[in-house]
Amino acid sequence: MLASVFAAFSAKKSDKPNIVFILCDDMGYGDLGCYGQKYIETPNIDRMASEGMRFTQAYSGSPVSAPSRACIMTGQHTGHGEVRGNKEYWRDSGEVRYGVNTDYAIVGQHPYDPNRVILPEIMKENGYTTGMFGKWAGGYEGSVSTPDKRGIDEFFGYICQFQAHLYYPNFLNRYSSLLGDTATIRVTLEENIKYPMWGAGYALRPQYSADLIHEAAIDWLDRQSGDKLFFGFFTYTLPHAELVQPEDSLLNYYRERLGETGVFNGSYGGRYNPVTHTHAQFAAMIARLDNYVGEILKKLKEKGLDENTIVIFSSDNGPHEEGGADPGFFGRDGKLKGIKRSCHEGGIRIPFIVRWPGHVSVAVNDHQLAFYDILPTFCDLIGVNHIERYG
């Protein structure tokens, strides 16, 4: 298990940590400064790596999203797991479709097996407050596997990962026991729906989902007092899918740095609007994510939770080329063969950084691990024999 490589772990076995797992979407092995990226500045994640352990042979669970995340949630590889692909269900039709869809009311992915315990349920059963913010991808709306049914106290983000291709969507999903929700609900983004989803006017939509999700995650983190252990699973959608974000100084910085490079003419079937400066857009999305990580670490420090919180940063698979993204320009695969959807190294080797002051040594580690190692490692961290208890 992964815990065995943490140098100080065995000496402090009785200490149960808080856990924050930051999982981004489609970030390649070479997209961060600490993994050799030359064009994009990632000072917060780089600092996290310099204060913790950076793994050089970490692998996702799959070269695509839903099955890769299922490996984290279940501790099973895809040969044993229920979720083996990005299988999508259409509302009220009973149909299953892959790839291009025209029905924007698509509701989500194939559910996790309700008879198979998943990671948030284990954490909750063992005394942890649980929060998940970002992409769910573990079952469609109303299915047997939604956040409210799977051990999560608070959720905000996308139930459906196909909807998560858009950063200015019509709605997001929420479940909050604190607010009295009895099921996962839709939250309509009232300012967004005033403008079209495609073509002229889309740029006027003001409610940027990545920022909204991060704000909810920080608010949840801010409400953790340290009196009760917590598990936060922050499944950010950056830098996946459409290359779009607020027009701000961060984006302008990369426009100036990278020049007017990259044009994408749009894809109606994929719901990607046309965009210029695609290289700057992508770089700024990674930098925006880096800012999020910095704010998470700062919040933990402010609240005095830094020493007893293990923070992990990773990505669900290799780099994508959707919506105008250009892996070759950035050398995003770390000079590895293959990208997302490929089982070559570039499609499945991912950044993986672990920070836990006083418990995890500052080191670069070539230990081989994959996403199905995470659940048993977390069980080890909290003193649970997962084989005896959960099978």
Give domain status of residue 237, yes or no: yes
How far is residue 364 from each of residues 42, 43, 312, 334, 352, measured CA to CA in Å? Answer: 18, 17, 14, 16, 11
Cis bond before residue 239 (omega within 30° of 0) = yes
Give domain status of residue 157, yes or no: yes
Per-residue pLDDT at 332: 65
> What distance in Å separates the CA atoms of residue 103 and residue 82, rounded to the nearest whole number?
25
Give domain status of residue 338, yes or no: yes
State the total domains in the chain. 1
Backbone φ, ψ for residue 138 (5° rounding): -120, 20
Q: 55 - beta bridge partners?
A: 352, 365
State the chain's maximal CA–CA distance in angstroms: 60
* Least confident stretch, 29-38, 242-251, 338-347, 381-390: 381-390
Mean pLDDT of 275-282: 95
CATH of the domain at 127: 3.40.720.10
> What distance in Å separates the CA atoms of residue 381 and residue 319, rounded to the nearest whole number?
30
Per-residue pLDDT at 390: 76
> What distance in Å separates the CA atoms of residue 184 and residue 59, rounded to the nearest whole number?
31
Mean pLDDT of 154-163: 94
> What distance in Å separates the CA atoms of residue 69 and residue 295, rounded to the nearest whole number?
24
Give domain status of residue 90, yes or no: no
Q: How does pLDDT run across 341-371, given as a tens digit for each residue?
A: 999 999 999 999 999 999 999 999 999 999 9
Per-residue pLDDT at 104: 52
> pTM here?
0.95
Residue 387 tokens, joined? 């084989």
Give domain status of residue 131, yes or no: yes
Q: Say if strands 18-24 and 230-235 run parallel, antiparallel, or are unpaired.
A: parallel
**CA 234: distance to chain centroid?**
6
* Least confident stretch, 166-170, 244-248, 260-264, 316-320: 260-264
- Residue 26 belongs to domain spanning: 2-81+111-390
Q: How does pLDDT run across 76-122, given as a tens digit for each residue?
A: 999 999 999 999 887 665 566 544 445 555 678 999 999 999 999 99
Give domain status of residue 106, yes or no: no
Give domain status of residue 26, yes or no: yes
**Under 8 Å between Cβ of 348 and 63:** yes
Question: Which residue from 355, 315, 367 is spatially nearest to 18, judged by alpha carbons?
Answer: 355
Give domain status of residue 168, yes or no: yes
